[in-house]
Amino acid sequence: MPIHVENGLPAIDMLKMEGIRIHEMPQTQPCRWNVALVNLMPEKIPAEADILRLMARCPLETALHLYRMASHRSRNTSGEHLERFYTTHADSPLTEMDGVIINGAPLERVRYEDVDYWNEFRGIMDACEASGVPVLYLCWAAFAGLYARYGLDKSLLERKLSGVYRHVLTAEGTGCPLMSGFDDIFFMPHSRHCQIDQAAAAKESGLSVLAYSPDGPGAAIMADRNGLDFYITGHAEYSPMTLDSEYRRDAARGLNPSIPENYYPDDNPDNRPEVRWRAHANLLMDNWLDKYVCVH
């Protein structure tokens, strides 16, 4: 079934070129299942396309509603775009949604408490938990959520972790509906400057590690034992060329980035990247929508 989004969203044209059906509709038009994307990424339009790409492949008909932080002024996305397509938790409570996705932001080197929307982020977490709304925390939002709820702090890495890594499904992951149908070994991109201590996460009584990577990323997919919240430290939603764009951007800035691991054939950036995560990324989103969002 097609996914419903607000009329005129620029990401629609990007996805139509990929052959993905998107149904434009006024945001006031009702849809049976409604999902919110709290978009923390500076470049919001590509992030919108990444989430829509996964949702549109699910057979369940859903609508995606875009949210921004009221306490933050975006410098990378036009005010006109935000005004037309985005709302805030204060104006339209996220507790009215059937599911919420919160993505990341390049804030690894900033103390959580120093992020200008930290209190708003905490308020959204608390409101969704109190209302029983399932939340999918991605990348920085996963680190921030684990810190806010469990006190698990990040540790900075000397060099950026970037690439496509092998992940192992744990025994707890095998029994979790979110991971239904997953192979014992699967791949997922990561791109970040920080790490969560996997041993500390495994010892946390309220947390379950569903999958981890022994090749660098560590704990990668975790579940809160309330059964509704998931923390994904990687980027299953990334398009094939996202890591390439990040690598070339960092190189142009003179940051001397490492070549993303397990990404370019022969580790040669002149070669087109190999995509090894798309099928499991689609399965992850399908499972989340089918088994946690569209269930009541």
Query: What residues are annotated to the active site?
Result: 139, 235, 237
- Residues 115, 107 contacting (CB under 8 angstroms): yes
| Chain-centre distance for alpha carbon 140 | 9
As given in the structure block, the two tokens for residue 112 are 């959580």
3-state SS, residue 48: helix
288/177 Cα distance (integer angstroms): 8
The residue whose two tokens read 């946690």 is 292
Q: Locate all alpha helices (DSSP H) within the chain, ordered by sequence.
A: 11-16, 44-55, 79-85, 118-131, 140-150, 171-174, 198-203, 242-252, 278-288
Structure tokens of 233?
């430290």
Question: By three-state DSSP, how is residue 286 classified?
Answer: helix
